[in-house]
Amino acid sequence: MAGRAKAKDELDWSAFPAGAVTRFNRFVCLACIFDVFTKQLRLAPRTAYSDIKRHTPSAAELTGSPPARPYFVSEEKNPRCPYCNSAKRWHARLVTHRIEGGPASDAARRALMKSLPKSAGQFEVLEEKSTRQAVLYDWLDRMGRSFDFDRDDWLAEAARQYLARKQPKTDWGQVFAGIHAVRRSSRLEEGWEVDAGRLFLAPPLYHEVLLVQYLVSRSHKAGGRTFEGRLTVFELLHRLRRSGYLAAEHIEGEDQSALLDSLVAHLAGAEGAVKLRYLVDRREFLEKVKSVYAAYAA
Ligand SMILES: [Zn+2]
């Protein structure tokens, strides 16, 4: 995704568990910002420059969708600002990595933070409290937006992404490159195996994959789509009950929606709060603010 980034500027995330780090790419239009500061607020360019330089956007501005002025997202090589039509030299790339707190990622985060230059505001960290469920819904939402539901290959991709989240130490890209089907195993009680180009998942894992597929596709069209075809919530719950999954995982609920809530809570993992940290890379922003200011002051 980050083809335009210079390799030397990339941070090393290899020590983090997969799924604990999410990357967000944004452009910020400095023409839009300078315009507001100099024309609307009537600040002198020099004052505007020192104010803008210190500015760190909020986590919502850096990660929310869709982004609002002066932020925008573009995959183009030479994008134009969607608000003021300015060219590339007015834009700065802001890369934000969201790190989910937890025993495995906390040590890696501390080591990474120690290695980063911060003296001139090159990197900033924003903190936010969230819940495991909110993080799961956010993950489902982003995954869903990246899928083309008119093609069937998203089903396997949803399975791969869920497995990568659940068992980050396995190279699932490699596993999926060698298979052409995903099946429920009638042999395994836990884990997975590959046999003759097919990935066999133990029933609990398989059912969780169905649930993820249901959740990610249910808002798209009536019901949700899964490896087992289109299912309504009633059919999904019936299937999970009949297979013994609900009893085995101690998932209960008085009615359909309470049951679905319990399933989502189970899928999300441990109850309670999770700390999110947003590491904002401001290096290009600082460089661009300087050159844009020079152009303004000239
Ligand atoms: Zn603009």
State yes or no: pLDDT of 200 exceeds 90.
Answer: yes
When divided into structural domains, the chain yields a total of 2
Q: Is residue 30 part of a domain?
A: yes
Distance from the CA of 203 to the center of ligand 1, in angstroms?
52
Is 252 found in the same domain as 290?
no
Is 117 found in the same domain as 35?
yes
Spacing of C-alpha 131 from chain mean position: 15
State yes or no: pLDDT of 167 exceeds 80.
Answer: yes
Residue 184: per-residue pLDDT: 96
Q: Is residue 131 part of a domain?
A: no
Residue 3: per-residue pLDDT: 41
Residue 244 has a CB neighbour count (10 Å cut-off) of 12
Overall average pLDDT of the 203-218 stretch:
95
Is 61 found in the same domain as 147?
no
Stated as kind and residue range, the H or E segment containing 226 is: strand 224-226
Q: How far is CA 108 from CA 3, 23, 47, 84, in A?
A: 25, 16, 38, 40
Is 196 found in the same domain as 103?
no
Residue with tokens 């507001």: 36
Is 244 found in the same domain as 201?
yes
Distance, CA of 130 to CA of 269 (rounded, Å):
14
Distance from the CA of 5 to the center of ligand 1, in angstroms?
21
Average pLDDT for the chain: 90
Predicted TM-score (pTM) above 0.75: yes
Please list all protein residues whose beta carbon sits less than 5 angstroms from ligand 1, which is an ion.
29, 31-32, 81, 83-84, 86
Domain that holds residue 206: 142-268
Q: Is residue 54 part of a domain?
A: yes
Q: Is residue 129 part of a domain?
A: no
Residue 1: per-residue pLDDT: 41
Distance from the CA of 82 to the center of ligand 1, in angstroms?
7
Q: Is residue 276 part of a domain?
A: no
Residue 219: per-residue pLDDT: 67
Is 165 found in the same domain as 111?
no
Overall average pLDDT of the 192-211 stretch:
96
Q: At what angle do helices 154-166 and 203-217 cross, to 10 degrees?
A: 120
- Residue 5: band (very low, low, confident or very high) from pLDDT cuts 50, 70, 90: very low
Is 264 found in the same domain as 291?
no
Is 150 found in the same domain as 96?
no
Is 288 found in the same domain as 224?
no
Q: Is residue 273 part of a domain?
A: no
**pLDDT tens digits, 57-84:** 999 999 887 899 999 999 999 999 999 9
**pLDDT tens digits, 12-45:** 998 887 778 889 999 999 999 999 998 999 998 8
Residue 166: per-residue pLDDT: 86
Q: What type of residue sits at position 253?
A: G
The encoded tokens of residue 119 equal 């003296």
Overall average pLDDT of the 90-97 stretch:
94
Distance from the CA of 231 to the center of ligand 1, in angstroms?
45
Overall average pLDDT of the 87-107 stretch:
91
Is 13 found in the same domain as 106?
yes
Distance from the CA of 35 to the center of ligand 1, in angstroms?
9
Is 292 found in the same domain as 198?
no
Distance from the CA of 39 to the center of ligand 1, in angstroms?
14
Q: Is residue 81 part of a domain?
A: yes
Q: Is residue 69 part of a domain?
A: yes
Distance, CA of 225 to CA of 152 (rounded, Å):
10
Distance from the CA of 10 to the center of ligand 1, in angstroms?
26
For 39, the 3-state DSSP assignment is helix
Specify whether the CB–CB gap between 88 and 26 falls below 8 A: no
**pLDDT tens digits, 212-253:** 999 999 865 578 999 999 999 999 999 999 999 999 999 999
Angle at 137 between CA 131 and CA 141, to 5 degrees: 145
Which one has a higher pLDDT value, 81 or 118? 81
Distance from the CA of 90 to the center of ligand 1, in angstroms?
8
Is 72 found in the same domain as 150?
no
Stated as kind and residue range, the H or E segment containing 200 is: strand 198-201
Core vs surface per residue 24-61: b (16+ CB within 10 A) or e: bbbbbbbbbbbbebbeeeebebeebbeebeeebbebeb
Specify whether the CB–CB gap between 274 and 132 falls below 8 A: yes
Residue 14: per-residue pLDDT: 87
233 Cβ contact list (under 8 Å, min separation 6)? 214, 218, 223, 224, 256, 260
